[in-house]
Amino acid sequence: MQRAGRAGRDGPGKCYRLYSIDSFQKLQPSSVPEVLRSNLATVLLEMLALGLRRPRKLKLMQQPDMDSLAAAEHELLGLGAAILDGKELRLTPIGQILCKFPLTPDQARVLMISNELSCLEEALTVIAAMSCETVFDQETRGGAEDIEQARARFSASGGDHLTILNIVQAFKQQRRVSSSHLKVLHRIC
């Protein structure tokens, strides 16, 4: 078997699609270009790292929305990742460090600051959890009512990030107390 893009190219082939005809007909003819679907602050930071100083002047096949580009510039300036030197954007030493992280610039900056404030582990936990769709698993244990009870148990008035931190810390605490009892851990999760 070959991928759809390969089937029939080198010889006879078949393509088996693992979705309905309805789903297929709703698909776009091609994917949206990365510059139009990515966090522009991340793209802009990468452009600055490559030495491009005037991103608005760059001629791209797919031009991003200028308001989105302005917002990305504003974000990088606010994070201290870039400075405006006349009409050119320049990467700062902070920006050079942010480029090394496989994260959005704001997430990378949070890690830098949390390291200075001695709360790096907590920041790493929250950022890692943000990459998950949800920590509440509706499929396995108990359903919607149990999920709402768990949300209420771990909920923090400071917002979702602190709620996530509460959940992970409770899990770690329970693991320390009863590492040999996995069923107990499943009740927390």
CATH code: domain of residue 66? 1.10.10
What is the separation of C-alpha 165 from the centre of its chain, rounded to a whole number of angstroms? 17
Compare 13 and 118 and report the one with higher pLDDT: 118
Task: For residue 151, tell me if it sits in a domain.
Answer: yes
Termini Cα distance of the chain:
40
pLDDT of residue 4: 53
Task: For residue 6, tell me if it sits in a domain.
Answer: no
Pair of tokens at residue 64: 């991003």
Total domain count, the chain: 2
At residue 139 the predicted structure's pLDDT band, cuts being 50, 70 and 90, is low
Distance CA 143, CA 36 (A): 37
Task: For residue 5, tell me if it sits in a domain.
Answer: no
What is the rounded average pLDDT of the residues 156-166? 82
Distance CA 139, CA 131 (A): 19
What is the separation of C-alpha 45 from the centre of its chain, rounded to a whole number of angstroms? 16
Average pLDDT, whole number, for the chain? 81
- Most confident range (mean pLDDT) of 56-60, 108-112, 129-133 is 108-112
pTM: 0.67
pLDDT of residue 146: 73
One domain for residues 88 and 136: no
Compare 16 and 105 and report the one with higher pLDDT: 105
Phi, psi of 184, rounded to the nearest 5 degrees: -65, -40
pLDDT of residue 29: 77
Structural domain span for residue 68: 34-92
Contact 168, 122 (CB under 8 A): no
pLDDT tens readout for residues 69-90: 899 999 999 999 999 988 899 9
Identity of the residue numbered 113: I
